[in-house]
Each structure stands twice: as structure tokens, then as C-alpha cells.
Structure 1
Amino acid sequence: MWRVRNITLILGGSRSGKSSFGEQLALKGNAPPVYIFTAQALDNEMEHRIRIHQERRKDDTWQEMEAPLELAAAIEEWDTKSHVILVDCLSLWLSNVMAAERDINAEIKNIVERINNCSSELILISSEVGLGIVPENFLARSFRDYLGLLHQKIAAIADNVTMMVAGIPLIVKEKSEASENIRGDQK
């Protein structure tokens, strides 16, 4: 099946430059950018982080939408060829899903299907948490494991995967004709 879409997954640690890199990519697109954010201002520190992100987008270029839980529906709502969709971030979305005690496997399946069927340019940002030590508690281990699974599933269908390290983008996977021939139309 032929699609005019481009899916980019941007991974990295905290304060690695993921969001600003994603915003720069979105602004280079040929369509107006939409910023779907999953963070909730539940405390002063998170409120401050959200405000910093909003300051970078204070002009009229961006449309914004909050989707702490219903991310698949938000992507579907903006999925037209006339928008570049930036999602920031998948790791907070997964944390929200777990806190709401939803069926995590079903939510992951749903979001991966929505992403795979997206016809727009889609930029997905997420924190990479699987590079450190094994967490002590079950909840933290579960989060790390589910997030790793989510990243693998999205990376498999993404056209581009970038790992941000100290503000520098490292290309993990790049769309090319050769890789398209090998990968085919994965679902």
C-alpha cells in the first residue's frame, strides 16, 4: 500500500534536546505544525517545564492540543495531509496510561496501529529510559519494559529514528529506497 507519510521517532534522555529538535523538524515541513502534548501540569515543576516548551512556540505558527490519554484519537483528528503532527511525548503518555490503570497492551496496540495508518508527517518524541540500571521496584521495571516495547514497535514502522545525545542528533534509521525494499509494507 502506497502512503504519502513520514514517521520520525526521536528518542533521548532528559534534557537531551528531543523537543527542540522535533520542533525544528516540524517547522521545516511543508504544512502547518500541530503540537499534541501529553504532559499534565500536576505540580509546580511540571507546570514550569510546560511553560518553557510553550515559550518556544509563542508565535501563531503552532496549533496545540492536549492529549494525556486519548493520543490515538488526537492523532486521528489531525491526520490530514495539510498538517505536520508533533507528539511530545510518548513516555509521558504511557505513564498516564499506566496511572489510569488502562489495559497497557491494548493501548500500545491501538497507538501503534494509529501511527502506522497515519497519512500525515508525524514526529514522535519519547524518553529513552532503558539504558540505565534495572529499577528496584516493579512499577518502574514495568514502565521501562513497556516503553521499550512501544519504542521497538514504533521504530519498526518509522521511516526515521533519531537518538538525541547532548543536543546532537544521532541517526539510528533513515528512510531510503534500499531500506524500503528490505522492510516492505510492515504492519
Structure 2
Amino acid sequence: MEKSILITGGARSGKSTLAERLALKPTGRAIYIATAEAFDDEMAARIAEHQARRGPEWRNLHAPLDLVGALAQSDGGDPRLVDCLTLWLTNLMLGGQDWRAEADRLVTTLSAQEAPVVFVTNEVGAGIVPENRLAREFRDAAGWLNQSVAQACDAVYLCVAGYPVKVKPNDHPL
């Protein structure tokens, strides 16, 4: 397994399922670092669906804002799965945090990690230009965050309709 992996794709593309399989592969155990907050019934149901899919081989950490701290706390043992970076970014932006500084901290921390880490993120920039400023800022921030983390990771996968395509490393000359 590569030491660091980023998995991106659209909604319900199979990202989390792939990430779970990859995280469990080395040891049969993993740490799930959740960034989601259940602010409504629909999100609570999504979180419950993800939890029901996982079994006793998973240990859970909740890190809606302090992702760097959660990575530091959980390093040195089982692989970690961070699900997901776009929810973490949402929490930072809506909480008035400096998301750029946190993204820089994340990328710096990633290079020092000993245990493998798999990140899940959403590909949000492939649609229409959002109609409001906050949505446009979020779309741009997610694109920049994804590029930064992808550059720092050993491997990147794009999930499409349940099928992963490995995009890093690849054989193109650039």
C-alpha cells in the first residue's frame, strides 16, 4: 500500500467504499477519522449508513476541525481513513477558520506521517459556475485543497460509477 492516497470523485461514486478497502488491506484494522457533523436528520442518516458498513475492525476519531491533530494522535499504528476533506473544508470555512493555513498544515503534516493515510474528497468543480459568492469560494477552495493534497500524496484515484481509475502515479511525460 502506498503511504498516502487521495481518492476523489463525484457524489456516490464509490470513493468511500474504495477507501475503506484500501485502509483495511495492510493490517485488517484501521482508524476512521470522520470530519462530518450531523446538523440535520439527512446527514445523521448518511453518517449512520457509513458506520453500519464498517465493522469492529474500525476505531473512530471525530475531527470536524482539527484534522492535523487527529492525524498526529493516530500516527504510528494502523492505517487511517479521512472521510472527507470537503466536509472538513466546509467546517473550516463556515467556522471562520483560515482554511489555507490549515491546508498548508495538513500537507506539511502528511509528509511526516509514519502510518498510511487514505483521504476521501469530492470533485466539485466539474459542474456549472455557482450562483453565489460563498459557493464559488468553496468550489475554488476545494479545487486548491485537492490539488495540494494530491501533490503531497503517493497515489491518487478518481472514482467514476463505482470504478476507480489510478491517476497518480501515471506514465505521462509531464
CA offsets 1:32-73 (integer angstroms, 9 cap, x no match): 30000000110000000000000011x310000110001110
Q: What is the correspondence of 1:22-171 to structure 2 with a 5 Å cutoff?
A: 22-30=19-27, 32-57=29-54, 59-80=55-76, 82-171=77-166
Between the aligned partners of 2:84 and 2:162, the Cα distance in structure 1 is 17
Give the CA RMSD over aligned residues: 2.0
**Residue 115 (structure 1) shift:** 1.6
Calculate the TM-score normalised by the size of structure 1: 0.88
CA offsets 1:20-39 (integer angstroms, 9 cap, x no match): 11001111123630000000
Structure 1 stretches of 4+ with a deviation exceeding 2 A read: none
Question: What is the one-letter code of the residue matched to 1:41?
Answer: A
Report how many aligned residue pairs link the two structures.
174
Question: What is the one-letter code of the residue matched to 1:151?
Answer: N
Q: Percent identity?
A: 44
CA offsets 1:99-152 (integer angstroms, 9 cap, x no match): 100112111111111122212111000011011111111101111111111111
Question: What is the one-letter code of the residue matched to 2:60?
Answer: E
Preserved contact between residue 28 and residue 57 of structure 2 (Cα < 8 Å): no
The SS at the match of 1:169 is: strand
Between the aligned partners of 1:142 and 1:34, the Cα distance in structure 2 is 31
My pick for the range that moved more, 110-119 or 121-130, is 110-119
Preserved contact between residue 5 and residue 119 of structure 1 (Cα < 8 Å): no
**Residue 5 (structure 1) shift:** 6.3
For structure 1, list consecutive stretches of 5 or more residues without a partner in the other structure: 183-187
- Compared CA separation, residues 146 and 156, structure 1 to 2 (3 A): same
Between the aligned partners of 1:97 and 1:86, the Cα distance in structure 2 is 19
The SS at the match of 1:127 is: coil
Calculate the TM-score normalised by the size of structure 2: 0.94
For structure 2, list consecutive stretches of 5 or more residues without a partner in the other structure: none
